[in-house]
Structure 1
Amino acid sequence: MKTPVSRNECGNGIYFPGGKMEDFDKLGKRKRKDFSKLPKIQELPNLIEVQKTSYFGFLQKEIAPDKRKNFGLQGVLNEIFPIVSMKGNITLEFVNYTLGQPKFSVTECKEREMSYSVPLKFTVRMIVTDLENPSKKVKEIKEQEIYVCEIPLMTENGTFIINGAERVIVSQLHRSPGVSFDELEDKLFSPFGKIYTAKVVPYRGSWLEFEFDTNEILYARIDKKRKFFATIMLRALGYDTNEEIIKLFYNSVEVNVKEREKVINMKLAKNIVLSKGGSVLAGRTIDSDLYDSLVENEVKKVEIVVPSDIEDKINLIPTIVKDNVNPTKEDAIMEIYKKMRPGQPVTLETAKVFFDNMFFNSRRYDLGKVGRYKINKKLYPDKEKQFALDVRVLKNEDIFRTLKYLLKLSNGSGEKDDIDHFGNRRVRAVGELVENQFRIGLVRMERFIREKMSMVDTEVAMPTDIVNTKPIFAALREFFGTNQLSQFMDQTNPLAELTHKRRLSALGPGGLDRDRAGFEVRDVHYTHYGRMCPIETPEGPNIGLISSLSAFAKINDLGFIETPYREVKNGVVTDKIDFLAADEEDAFTIAQANAPIDEKGRLVEKMLVARNKGDFPLVSVEKIDYMDVSPMQLVSISTALIPFLEHDDANRALMGSNMQRQSVPLVNSEAPIIGTGIEYKVAYDSEVMVIAKNAGVVEYVDANRVEIYNDSGKLDVYTLIKYKRSNQDTYINQRPIVRKGQKLAKGQVIADGPCTERGELALGQNVMVALMPWRGYNFEDAMVVNENLLKDDKFSSIHVEEFSIEARDTKLGEEEITRDIPNVSDEALCNLDDSGIVRIGAEVNPGDILVGKVTPKGESESTPEEKLLRAIFGEKAKDVKNASLKVPPGAAGIVVDIKVFSRKESATKAKEKEIRKRVDNDYEKLIEEVNIEKDMEINLIKKNFKDKREADEKIKIEKEKAKIRLEEIEYRKNREIDNLAEGDNLPAGVIKLVKVYLATKRKIEVGDKMAGRHGNKGVIAKIVPQEDMPYMPDGRPVDIVLNPLGVPGRMNVGQVLEAHLGWAARVMGYYVATPVFDGATELEVKGALKEAGLPISGKSVLYDGVNGEKFDSEVTVGNMYIMKLSHLVDDKVHARSTGPYSLITQQPLGGKAQFGGQRFGEMEVWALEAYGAANILQEILTVKSDDVNGRTKMYEAIVKGRNTPEPGLPESFNVLVKELQGLGLDVNLVKDPNIKDLSAKGILRELNAKEPEIGLAEKTFIDEVEKTEPKKKEKKSKK
């Protein structure tokens, strides 16, 4: 066996095998041995483009007002305006909108708990017309800019800062508007087979449905209200006679009445007026009686429906005949109004307005571009007759065609729609969701404006007098603050952040409800291929409803998800790439990405297995239209990070994808030796690293800043984030990975962020793993870990917690943050500064004071002495109580940051002057330091550089550096002075707010959850000294021992292959890329082991560290990538003595956050009952729970060392009694005099009652006994 390659240290102090600088390309990207066989046709798109493009398209911030397109915010405003008053004398027109600049930076907004937003202003024009003038002349025009609200701005990373918290708006998957045809499954057996329905679903407005019943009568239904004959709908559209309706749907032919066999049993297509009086309506069947009547009335010819149109077919004629309403348009409209508004008085005018508004008014009804597109696609096969996409209301033609298609479908031709098909489900991204919310606000505002217009004096009124923008602000605040799709960002690690932004949810307003969503909606559909990941979805109630966008997927203008394919022409693969939506893809046959191709791009095999809709036919090469771009396009980013995914069972891959998102950023993370090749892209797009904006040379590097002299002669300064807290309390820290003098290209990584290493995603550690049982400690997924991992800080992580305290203005006076706290020793105050706030760098433990605070006590009646003291010492001697912020139990660490926010104090001018002077002095010192440093550097350059040109160049850079630093200092100084002038924006009643950030280093310990990338999770059961671990023939102990039984049953064999290849790669000193579905084969893994001089089986002899003996059989060992998950035992261990109680039941609260107790439930009671432990049970259910008096007495008895009292009545009994009384039952507790009290006290009471003298003597005797008993015990203990 070859000796292992030495582990070199590289750049950032992280050890990894073969880490020489030659292992990186010009962009600083690590080189990996690539096992993929297929060429890279298409690069991965920007992974958070979904969020950015959607929101930037909505705001159109950078586009000039007159050049903005009619969608997003501009589109909504154009929809709502102009607003005309009820009288028609005032018109309010929208001119344009402008967006200002954010007041604070992203970081400042987070610190101050403010929203990162920009002011939105509308320019509106108010036109007043003179209604008395016959020509309605314009009286006057007033134009004005109105401030509307603060509209949240998206950060560079695709997130929003709302009240200081970083949030993500998740994209929603919902049913696409348009027309859909479905089969009714819950109807009873119908004589003509399946029953179909048609639905016209708009983006906004009333739903229109058509359905047959079991008697072949066609009904219509609006908004799921009562149904009516479908022909009434047609009559309301203006086709009021039977003739006209029949003409719409069927052909007719004129027949001579004399030809009896041609006429009898036919349907009339035209009304007939009989010569002898009366008429016959179209649609009626000509039976023998009617035929005789026609002959009698000397009718020569009749027009009948062409028999082939209706014979043996479901048709509309039975409905026409059954609908015997007086056939006029007006009656039909009135009939519809009655169905929609039963019980309301109806007039023709209101009914007409109501009907028109329902489907034909663009303000009330909107199909959206998507709805029109879907209707065109389904009902108008001939493109010439299709309506333009901006025709967004229903047309009569749409309704006829819907009915025609429904009849066609019922007669066995046409296709029903699959609602789970991605042609019928679309994505609403951020922009669209905010747009809808904005529309809601604008509609409310419009209502208010109309009311106001009728009340104002047109002579003096300005636009600001009639516009109230509060509804818009309220709608936006509600959306960003409380909407189900506006979520607190998952920031555990960069992958979690990225995946959250790419998430697709079927839940939320207008979406599904998890309790009612069926199996079909959650299931994998063939149209998900390349669009939505079939693997990454949560376990639990949300399974299948929340999922992730596939790696290469894009969302098109209509909101449908598209995936890329290479075009194939006559068996030759071209380089042209088309993005296809699911409904477009249905028309093509698509080959797999791994179909063999020769050098000329021709498909080698004559027949290939390809995809067509949901089938996998074997087709000839000529019939293939497209080919997959990459085998990875099927899965999401998170799943694409799992090497050897093709060898894992999907259920375990699902867990692997989800657990990578829970991995904690480690102090020293390592990129995986076995990767899939996309680690760099994921880390790059997650935007946690610092990237060079321009090419240049590194001038200066330290832990906090990097300065780069760029190619255009300017100095770029990058400030690094240090020990900041993430949303999940993990830490965000950036470390530079460049050296002074290093040349950088544009886009190169300058500094690593959390969970990245040399620009690659690094969620865990590469460790040596053995798959074998070890003394029963790794039973059932437990892990045995080498103590070395703990000593070397391999899995140590830093967690930053935030603690805050407010000083409020109370009724009794102001609270004060101070060091002067009553009844606290000097020792407890040793870490506090003069103002009573803990110093940065202090190490604190549970119970230590972080911020000293005193609160005024309630005024009690003062004694004369107190009054005297107060007269001498003033108000200082007033009663205050200690209300300091202390470190909670279970927390400890080092204070890394402190933030203090206070209101603008109404200070005297002298005090304000003094503060300003102090700020000026502080910053003058900084400026002096920078100037001294600059002068020293310039002197050094003059000494060391003989070449004047070179020296001048260097001096120029130094001056540039100093100038940038001075500008920075000036900016900070101005900000501080502004803050002093304005004060911080604090909630009402709060004078001062202090936040303390505490960093804790957590090493691995027993109970921590660890996992690999294949769903192989486990809990640490034992940390074993290095010398006791199993070791290899060369004496190296393994790092972790896993149970081999975890592999075969779970079918995640990828972990074994990863271990084999990882062992070979570690020994040879290279990194591997094995992409999903295109990675290293079993033969290649064996080849790698052979090349490294390792056994091909991947097994090695191991020796027991405890006794040095060889284990019986060889053991699979190898290098596996293991992560520490954010389920740390430290956060879960919890103990309670006496804590808070629930207000009503008076039982202890539950859970660690509430400092609660352990629930002793029904089953636990059974267990104690089984043992007959009556007294313990009684105690648990009373004094340890909700017997309020009993528990107080019990506490007292324990403290005073007395005998414990008898348990009393539990409070929950009183709650039950009150509940019953609330139901009107008179329940009272009555004491039965016949029941004997057999307790000691009861017997005594009885004795006293019977014989007062004896009772008294008895009592005295018992008192004596009680006095002497403790003394006897004391004597015994002394002996």
Structure 2
Amino acid sequence: MTERKNFAKIKEVYKLPNLLELQTASYGEFLQADVQPDKRRNIGLQEVFNEIFPIESFDRQVCLNFLSYFAGKPKYTVDECRKRAMTYAAPLKVRFKLTTPVEAKEQESYFGEIPLMTETGTFIINGDERVVVSQLQRSPGVSFEEELHPTGKKLFYGRIIPYHGAWLEFKYDISEVIIAYVDRKRSFPATQLLRIIGYTSDDDIINAFGAQSVYPQILNTLKKDSAKSKEEALADFYRKMRPTEPVTPDAAEKLFYRLFFDPRRYDLARVGRFILNRKLGLDVSLDKRILDAPTVIKVIEYLIKLKDGTGEIDDIDHLGNRRIKTVGELVQNQVRIGLTRMERSIRERLAVMSEFSSLSLHHLINSKLLSNQIKDFFARSQLSQFMDQVNPLAEMTHKRRLSALGPGGLSRERAGFEVRDIHPSHYGRVCPIETPEGPNIGLIASLSTYARVNELGLLETPYREVKEGKVTKKIEYLTADIDEQKIIAQANAALDEEGYFQDKGVSCRLRGDFPKVEPKKVEYMDVSPKQLVSVAASLIPFLEHDDANRALMGSNMQRQAVPLMVSEAPLVATGIEHKVAVDSGAVVIAKEEGKVTAVDASSITIGKTTYELMKFRRSNADTCINQNPLVSLGEKVEKGQVIADGMSTEGGELALGRNLLVAFMPWRGYNFEDAILISEKICKEDIFTSIHVEEFQIEATETRLGNEELTRDIANVSEENLKDLDKDGIIRIGAEVHAGTILVGRVTPKTETELSSEERLMRAIFGEKSRDVRDTSLVAPPGVEGVVVEVHVFQRKDRGRKSKEEKTQEQAKLREIRAYYKQEIEFVNEEKWLRLSKLLGVDKDKAERMDLSSNDEAKGLADSFDEQLKELLADEEQEIEKVRRGDELPPGVLKRVVVYIAIKRKVAVGDKLAGRHGNKGVIARILPDEDMPFLADGTPLEVVLNPLGVPSRMNVGQILETHLGWAAKTLGIRVASPVFDGATEQEIKDMLKKAGLSE
């Protein structure tokens, strides 16, 4: 990691959390794959199974109980899934107990495959890397709002919104009667609803609100209520809900129960109950997730008090009333839909079965209902998106994105200004800067650096606790509704050595206001100035000197930076570049300390661990992912050290661009209107040259006229054009490619109609001899100039028709697999007996001969190693089977060839260049070095920008960065200027003076 002079004045008291925790923790809790079935918490997948099962037949004779589930090992690794266009998923097996009148038996059922998350928080779906974006939604619970009647009168209303189920609203009408609405459709007096839930007489209803005060609104409603008993109320309710059906007391009771009291159809969720408790001052267990009578009474009472001027209406844009649905919860909801469909199908199948003796799980369960639902979500949902993979920051931002769009969310067309606007409750939770510029502005946001999502889905941000004017080391995470009530000091408040506030008046936040408070009254303090903004915004030095609109452009444009051939970390950074590079997974980290025993361009070996590096791999954006070792042979490595750089990183730090010598001056009109002038040196020295990898694919398929064939033998093509193809017609790695170059030779059988009259004559004379095929080869399209870096060939294995060469290749591959696993097994065995001999205090040979059954600790250790050995043997078997079976291809496809071509792109006129402060422009001219303006010592400039691009845009940060960067370059150092805590003007002047430059 590069050493930097840091200008921060505030000590780092709390380290940044893992930046991908939002994704990885959520999916880990959903799957609980590494937790023993009996120790799993009732969340995620476990919760859905517990909700849906047991399933009983209509006659109650057969019962299907859920016991446990188990996610197996994925068939292919992440890299194999990428290459083969497969989904990285694990087989899901579920154990059930099936009880029939004849017997009760336990059985295991295969429930299809469930996608697994990679270490970097992504999913591989059909070979593509995808991200599931978290959704920012209105929270279930209760909310009180007001609306204006056409007469100008304010009408209040309260809504109980469940997680899923029917909405229940209470609204004043113009004559001060409280009306209840079910699902915004049917309406009846609120007292009618109270009669149904247990307050049958008028006196019961009046007493429910407290005997000491009789509310006139309740009396008005009772007058309007025609029903005088529970039965009448139920009949009236049923008549309005089901107008076409005849009323029966039983049906009415059932309908009402199903609407609000059936846990399968009505669920407030823990967060809904939490918000009800918070708003109404109740103390009901969070696990009580259906409606109850006291809650309904409290909602009506709060509504009455609102009318009388006590209580307050809710702000629906406040983050205390909005919650995050993370990836785990989104997938859980899909599993719930799939299992509900499966439940219906199981019940229907049980209804038509008469013979129970031969009843088996595979007769009942159609696992396609679940697996199709999950597949559909990952492939087609608005929230499952093709990952933005231009550079590591683009990946990171995509994984930390919050979207108000998507199923159950808002739509661009309907969303007004209020929803899109910045809200005081966003402080430390949602970035006020980073959001798109187009129609999605404000609807798509980014998580702030320190923010996290709690178990209820509410956003929290950390604070330091303050006691009696002293800032303690205790860190507490608070939700938006709690911190609004607290007096919170800013992170830059001056503290003395012991942690006491130095000033008599401390600038604080309280309910959206900024009072100056005496130190003893302060309750909390921010942990860091950068907790306000997102990762991308906190990478902008001198952010505090930029206008917010330009900072927004700057944070968005950093994500568009193309990885360069030679990366260079910035001279002026903000200090979190290392954290972003590490957490994004772009760099390689040492898992344990040790000595580097082998290192080359493609792998690093430390001790017994080998780290394979990615070489010239294509990203989702066609940019090039290439990792280079940072360690040398014999070097000692610490655990957690960066041992290899990835794309857009240098020395383990994020490096999105280059450090260039820039002047702000006009030059013959070539930098008019944001145009940019650059030196030819940038082209010659490949400063802004990038490598792009493009993928080309071809398949040989079965056709009605015969099979297509991949071959070098193509008619009417010169030998010169075939020189780089092997005997199967596939181009070699390293071949140079131009537009029109044949990448893969293919011939397709011709139909009769395609034959010319001469060809038909030839066939009549010579029979089938003349080749009736046409050339359908894969050729490089126009504009492609590059080098072949990788070729993948996938083909079905035809056991009877293997060529000698294929057999030799297969044998070599099998030998390689067996040798690898033999070595692994020997290593585990060695470790096993070493650990046992140490535990038992005897030498290795003696330990091998000992009976371990009497020693529980030794037996447990031996068993865990035996389990590892069993897994290794199973893996070896699976790998051998993969080689023997060949590749899985779609029906009718015989062979698939994928060719990757690396294309070098130099910077050219018309390309967009941008800084980190929203200062963007297009290259208008590339000048020879000798024609560029130069410094006093004759050094030619590299970039010339227009000075008029600064004053009106108000992004002065670029000027400060330029001066500090100039001083740093001259002094040969690198500096860090964190956001809101960076170098002051005076410090920059001092640096310039130190470097011998004019201030």
Pairwise TM-score range, normalised by the shorter structure: over 0.9
Please state whether the residue corresponding to 2:672 is helix, strand or coil: coil
Query: What is the CA-CA distance between 1:171 and the residue it aligns to?
Result: 0.6
Return 602-611 or 682-691, whichever deviates more. 602-611
Matched, 1:451 2:348: yes
The 8 Å contact of residues 78 and 118 in structure 2, kept in 1 or not, is answered as: yes
The 8 Å contact of residues 916 and 977 in structure 1, kept in 2 or not, is answered as: no
Amino acid at match of 1:882: D
Distance 1:972 1:756 in 2: 35
Q: Give the 5 Å matches for 1:462-611.
A: 462-611=360-509
**Unaligned 5+ residue runs, structure 2?**
823-872
Please state whether the residue corresponding to 2:345 is helix, strand or coil: helix
Please state whether the residue corresponding to 1:89 is helix, strand or coil: coil
Matched, 1:235 2:195: yes
Query: What is the CA-CA distance between 1:596 and the residue it aligns to?
Result: 0.9
**Unaligned 5+ residue runs, structure 1?**
1-28, 130-138, 253-305, 710-714, 932-969, 1097-1279
Aligned to 2:856: none
Amino acid at match of 2:260: F
1:879-922, CA deviations, whole angstroms, 9 ceiling, x for partnerless residues? 211111111112221111111111232534xx367632344358
The 8 Å contact of residues 807 and 992 in structure 1, kept in 2 or not, is answered as: yes
Distance 2:344 2:544 in 1: 59
Aligned to 1:366: 267
Distance 1:833 1:446 in 2: 55
Distance 1:471 1:337 in 2: 34
The 8 Å contact of residues 143 and 463 in structure 1, kept in 2 or not, is answered as: no
Matched, 1:917 2:819: no
Aligned to 1:32: 4
- The alpha-carbon distance between structure 1 residues 530 and 865, as it changes in their structure 2 partners (threshold 3 A), is closer
The 8 Å contact of residues 88 and 115 in structure 2, kept in 1 or not, is answered as: yes
The 8 Å contact of residues 817 and 876 in structure 2, kept in 1 or not, is answered as: no
Query: What is the CA-CA distance between 1:198 and the residue it aligns to?
Result: 0.3
Query: What is the CA-CA distance between 1:605 and the residue it aligns to?
Result: 1.4
Matched, 1:174 2:134: no
Q: Which of 781, 794, 808 in structure 1 is aligned with 2:687?
A: 794
Report the aligned-residue RMSD: 2.2
Aligned to 1:255: none
The 8 Å contact of residues 810 and 884 in structure 2, kept in 1 or not, is answered as: no
Aligned to 1:1081: 984
Aligned to 1:882: 775
Aligned to 2:863: none
Q: Which of 614, 638, 650 in structure 2 is aligned with 1:721?
A: 614
Query: What is the CA-CA distance between 1:740 and the residue it aligns to?
Result: 1.1
Aligned to 2:321: 424
Matched, 1:1035 2:913: no
1:275-300, CA deviations, whole angstroms, 9 ceiling, x for partnerless residues? xxxxxxxxxxxxxxxxxxxxxxxxxx
Query: What is the CA-CA distance between 1:973 and the residue it aligns to?
Result: 11
Distance 2:769 2:17 in 1: 66
Query: What is the CA-CA distance between 1:823 and the residue it aligns to?
Result: 2.3
Aligned to 1:760: 653
Amino acid at match of 2:488: I
Q: Which of 112, 120, 123 in structure 2 is aligned with 1:149?
A: 112
Instruction: Provide the TM-score with structure 1 as the length reference.
Output: 0.72
Q: Give the 5 Å matches for 1:240-389.
A: 240-251=200-211, 309-310=214-215, 315-325=217-227, 327-381=228-282, 386-389=283-286
Distance 1:520 1:652 in 2: 22
Query: What is the CA-CA distance between 1:821 and the residue it aligns to?
Result: 1.7
Amino acid at match of 1:584: I
Query: What is the CA-CA distance between 1:245 and the residue it aligns to?
Result: 1.4
Distance 2:490 2:760 in 1: 92
Q: Give the 5 Å matches for 1:48-87.
A: 48-87=20-59
The 8 Å contact of residues 115 and 152 in structure 1, kept in 2 or not, is answered as: yes
Matched, 1:160 2:123: yes
Give the paired residue count. Answer: 948
Aligned to 1:437: 334
Q: Give the 5 Å matches for 1:874-953.
A: 875=768, 877-905=770-798, 907-908=800-801, 911=802, 915-920=806-811
Aligned to 1:1026: 929
The 8 Å contact of residues 817 and 880 in structure 2, kept in 1 or not, is answered as: no
Return 440-449 or 370-379, whichever deviates more. 370-379
Aligned to 1:663: 561
Distance 1:746 1:492 in 2: 29
- The alpha-carbon distance between structure 1 residues 797 and 603, as it changes in their structure 2 partners (threshold 3 A), is same
Q: Which of 172, 185, 189 in structure 2 is aligned with 1:225?
A: 185
Return 72-81 or 466-475, whichever deviates more. 466-475
Query: What is the CA-CA distance between 1:148 and the residue it aligns to?
Result: 0.4
Aligned to 1:199: 159
Distance 2:560 2:969 in 1: 26
Distance 1:723 1:754 in 2: 10
Q: Give the 5 Å matches for 1:1125-1274.
A: none
Query: What is the CA-CA distance between 1:974 and the residue it aligns to?
Result: 8.3
The 8 Å contact of residues 822 and 880 in structure 1, kept in 2 or not, is answered as: no
The 8 Å contact of residues 170 and 502 in structure 1, kept in 2 or not, is answered as: yes
Please state whether the residue corresponding to 2:231 is helix, strand or coil: helix
- The alpha-carbon distance between structure 1 residues 336 and 1057, as it changes in their structure 2 partners (threshold 3 A), is same
- The alpha-carbon distance between structure 1 residues 545 and 928, as it changes in their structure 2 partners (threshold 3 A), is closer
Please state whether the residue corresponding to 2:332 is helix, strand or coil: helix
Please state whether the residue corresponding to 2:666 is helix, strand or coil: coil
Please state whether the residue corresponding to 2:800 is helix, strand or coil: coil
Please state whether the residue corresponding to 1:575 is helix, strand or coil: strand
Q: Give the 5 Å matches for 1:1046-1085.
A: 1046-1085=949-988
- The alpha-carbon distance between structure 1 residues 332 and 605, as it changes in their structure 2 partners (threshold 3 A), is same
Distance 1:887 1:977 in 2: 36
Please state whether the residue corresponding to 1:637 is helix, strand or coil: coil
Distance 1:1010 1:1030 in 2: 19
- The alpha-carbon distance between structure 1 residues 892 and 345, as it changes in their structure 2 partners (threshold 3 A), is farther
Distance 2:292 2:591 in 1: 53
Query: What is the CA-CA distance between 1:380 and the residue it aligns to?
Result: 2.5
Distance 2:876 2:16 in 1: 44
The 8 Å contact of residues 674 and 1072 in structure 1, kept in 2 or not, is answered as: yes
Matched, 1:189 2:151: yes
Matched, 1:994 2:897: yes
Aligned to 1:825: 718
1:652-671, CA deviations, whole angstroms, 9 ceiling, x for partnerless residues? 00000000001000011100
Amino acid at match of 1:108: E
Aligned to 2:543: 645
Distance 1:840 1:1034 in 2: 48
Aligned to 2:832: none
Distance 1:195 1:425 in 2: 24
Aligned to 2:100: 128
Please state whether the residue corresponding to 2:374 is helix, strand or coil: helix
- The alpha-carbon distance between structure 1 residues 549 and 315, as it changes in their structure 2 partners (threshold 3 A), is same
Distance 2:140 2:120 in 1: 31
Query: What is the CA-CA distance between 1:927 and the residue it aligns to?
Result: 11
Please state whether the residue corresponding to 1:804 is helix, strand or coil: strand
Amino acid at match of 1:726: S
Aligned to 2:169: 209
Query: What is the CA-CA distance between 1:863 and the residue it aligns to?
Result: 9.7
Quote the sequence identity (%): 56
Please state whether the residue corresponding to 2:958 is helix, strand or coil: helix
Query: What is the CA-CA distance between 1:871 and the residue it aligns to?
Result: 8.7
- The alpha-carbon distance between structure 1 residues 491 and 378, as it changes in their structure 2 partners (threshold 3 A), is same
Query: What is the CA-CA distance between 1:979 and the residue it aligns to?
Result: 4.3
Query: What is the CA-CA distance between 1:342 and the residue it aligns to?
Result: 2.4
The 8 Å contact of residues 594 and 606 in structure 2, kept in 1 or not, is answered as: yes
Amino acid at match of 2:923: I
- The alpha-carbon distance between structure 1 residues 438 and 51, as it changes in their structure 2 partners (threshold 3 A), is same
Distance 2:224 2:817 in 1: 93
Aligned to 1:1125: none
Please state whether the residue corresponding to 2:954 is helix, strand or coil: coil
Higher CA-based Rg = 1
Distance 1:88 1:923 in 2: 54
Amino acid at match of 2:191: T
Distance 1:49 1:662 in 2: 24
Return 513-522 or 240-249, whichever deviates more. 240-249
Query: What is the CA-CA distance between 1:742 and the residue it aligns to?
Result: 1.1
The 8 Å contact of residues 1065 and 1071 in structure 1, kept in 2 or not, is answered as: yes
